[in-house]
A and B are shown apart, each in its own frame.
Chain A
Amino acid sequence: MTDLEARLTRRALLGAGVLVVAGCRTARHAAAPDLDTTTLSAARAGEVALLSSYAEGTPDHAAHLAHLRALGGDVSSPGPSPGVTPTPSGPPGYTDVGSSVPVLQAAANRARAGASAAVLASIAASHTVLAARRP
C-alpha cells in the first residue's frame, strides 16, 4: 500500500500564511517584462472593478482582495506593487465574475510565464466557484 496521505495533504493542509506567500510570489511574477505584464495589469483592473461590487468584510470581497494581491496589486491602486515597473493598464474585458472566467482562462492559456499562468488559472477557478454561488 502506498502513501496517499502525502499527496492529499500536501495541498489540503495549507495554513493561514498563504496570502502572505501569494504576495511574495506574485511580486516576482509581475516583474516579467513581457506580454504577461499587460495581461496581469488587466486582471488587476478586473479585480478592482469586482471588489467595488462587494462590501468590505464579505467573503466575496475577501476573495477578490486575495486575487488582487496575488496579482501584485492592492486596494489603493490597480497598478503593480511598489518596486514593480509600471505598465499601461488595459480594460479588464469583463464586468461581472461570471464573464471573467473565459477571459482569465484564455489569459492563463497564453501567458508566457508559467507562474503567472497558474495565478490567472487559479483566479478563473475561484471566479467559477463564486459565480455558482450567486443567486
Chain B
Amino acid sequence: MTEAEALVAAVDTENQAVYGYGLAGAHFAGRDRADALAALDTHRTRRDLLASLATRHGATPPAAAPAYAPPFPVVAVASARSLCTAIEDACAGAAWDLVAASRPASQSRSLAVAWLTDAAVAAARWRGGARSDQSNQSNPDLPGQPG
C-alpha cells in the first residue's frame, strides 16, 4: 500500500466514522451524546486534514456517501456504543496502515501515530461502556494490528 492509497483509505474510514457517530449519537443522551458529538467533530476535522494530504500526494480523496450501512442493527444505547467501538477500531486499523505506508518524520506519519492513540483511547472508552460483545473482538493489546 502506498502512502497515497493509505491516505485515501483513511479518508474513506473517517467519512464512515462521521456518519457512524451521527447515527450512534441519535441514541445517546447526557455524556455519551456529548462525547459522540465531540467525536464527530474530531473525525470531521481529521477527515479534512487527511483529504488535504491525499490531494497533496496526487490522489483524489473519496467523497462521503449519503449513507452507510452499519455492521449490525443500531437500535439502542448498547448497540450504539458498540458501533462507536467498531468505528474506533476501524480508525485504528486505518491509522496503522498509514503509519506503515508513510515516510519517517512525515506529516502523514506524525498524524497517523497520534490518530492511532486517539482511536485506541476512544475505543477503550466506548468498549468500557458497551454491554454487547459485537465489537469487542479486536485486539486491544495492539490497536490497529491487521489480522
Contact = CB atoms under 8 A, between A and B. Distances in A.
Q: Do A and B come from one complex?
A: yes
Interface of A: 1-5, 7-15, 17-19, 21-22, 62-63, 66-67, 70, 101, 105, 108-112, 114-115, 117-119, 121-126, 128-129, 132
Contacts of B93: 10-11
Interface in B115-147: 116-117, 119-121, 124, 135, 137-147
Interface in B23-68: 65-68
Given A13-B137, A122-B145, A129 B104 contact: no
6 contacts: A8-B83, A101-B117, A114-B102, A118-B97, A121-B144, A126-B120
Interface residues of B, number: 52
| Most-contacted residue by chain B among A8, A70, A117, A128 (CB, 10 A) | A8
Contacts of B86: 8-9, 12
A129 B99 contact: no
B4 interface: no
B125 to A, nearest CB: 9
B145 A2 contact: no
A109 B90 contact: no
Contacts of A17: 147
Interface in B91-123: 92-93, 95-97, 99-102, 104-105, 109-110, 112-114, 116-117, 119-121
Contacts, number: 162
Given A122-B96, A128-B120, A128-B121, A8 B141 contact: no
Nearest to B122: A129
Contacts of A22: 142, 145
Contacts of B67: 1-2
A5 B19 CA distance: 13
A11 B114 contact: no
B16 interface: yes
B101 A114 contact: yes
Contacts of A112: 104
A51 to B, nearest CB: 13
Contacts of A14: 137-139, 145, 147
A63 B140 CA distance: 8
